[in-house]
Amino acid sequence: MSEQPLSEEKKLENKASELEKRNKRRFQIELEFIQCLANPWYLNNLAQKEYFEDPVFLNYLEYLKYWKRPEYAKFIVYPHALHFLDLLQNPQFREHLKNYDVATEIHSKQYYHWLKWRHVEGGNVEGGNAGGRNVGGGNTGGGNIGEGSGQEDIENIMLIGFMCLLHLRLCTIMI
């Protein structure tokens, strides 16, 4: 009689362990897929194979937006993936991704963004102010990179610099 409750307890433990393994595997698969979204060539391939025309796939992309929450985003190595996840919500962007030249342009902008990225140490951006350009326009120290807080500089570079390049490119294609 005492064996049966123990057996049921073991079954519950096994089910919990199995569920934990499945959740961990799902987390790993979704993380890997999200990170692939940072690759313009992968996006071009998905567009050419018409994945972006499948409502089920589009719902999956919508579902994956939970990765933008800090408790999940901290696991992402390529933050551009989250930006592309947002852009993929736009039907025009998805359509433009079919064009090889668009993927090439995005790849080029991404490469030069990484090439020119400044190393942050001690809250300051090394390397000056990115050629004296006013990137943020809102820094209290004159608006140049390196003159505001380090965190503000990073946000200006990431949010304004890279996103504007992609949006400007998308807008010029649509004109």
Give the tens place of pLDDT for each residue, 7-37.
888 878 888 888 899 999 999 999 999 999 9
- 65-98 pLDDT per residue, tens: 999 999 999 999 988 899 999 999 999 999 999 9
Q: Among 62, 79, 94, which residue terminates a domain?
A: 94
Q: Within this chain, do residues 44 and 79 fall inside the same structural domain, yes or no?
A: yes
Where in the sequence is the domain holding 74, given as residue range(s)? 1-94
This prediction has a pTM of 0.59
Q: Does 150 have pLDDT greater than 90?
A: no
pLDDT at 148 over 90: no
Helices (H), the chain: 3-36, 40-48, 55-63, 70-73, 80-87, 91-96, 100-116, 150-155, 163-174
Between the CA of residue 48 and those of 42, 51, 72, 105, what are the distances in Å?
A: 10, 8, 29, 16
Find the CATH number of the domain harbouring 52. Answer: 1.10.10.1340
